[in-house]
Amino acid sequence: MKHLWTALPLVVLTACTAEQPAAPKFEDADVCALLQSGDAGSLKGTAKSSRACDFTFDSLTVRLTLRTEKFADASQPLQSDGGYGAVVNDHPMTRRCTDASGTVTCDAVVEVRDGQLIGLKVVQRSHDANAVGQVTQGLASKALERLPK
């Protein structure tokens, strides 16, 4: 019994100093976990590709992509084609929404950190580009909240 008490502190010390696994980073994030049912209606399904996930909700579809590029480079084409800037959870965002035959498509980029972006493409049957733009900003906010810090 005496040997047990001398070994116990060593076991406790070893358990406390064991290396903890690193927290997930932007590059390791599960892109399909960044949006969930309830974010834009009921989630009907997801389809994952390399750094992107396609989400199907009740009345809209979303392609969310994790991108590594400069925000200015990614937002410039959107701004030059009628898009504008916004701020989501203190992160800069550029979005452009277009209406074609009753289907609104919003393309957006949000800067997570320097060189790290979330890209969004939201498609919804609607004639109100502003309403779909607001949905796009809301989805960007949810994705930012769920992204590893």
- Reference 125, options 35, 58, 38, 36; nearest CA is 58
Digit-coded pLDDT (tens) for 53-103: 999 999 999 999 999 999 999 999 999 989 999 999 999 999 999 999 999
Say yes or no to pLDDT of 8 above 90: no
The domain 25-146: what is its CATH number?
A: 2.60.120.1690
pLDDT digits (tens, 9 = 90+) for 17-42: 455 555 558 878 899 999 999 999 99
Domain ranges (residues) in the chain: 25-146
DSSP code per residue over 35-53: S-TTSSS-EEEEEEETTEE
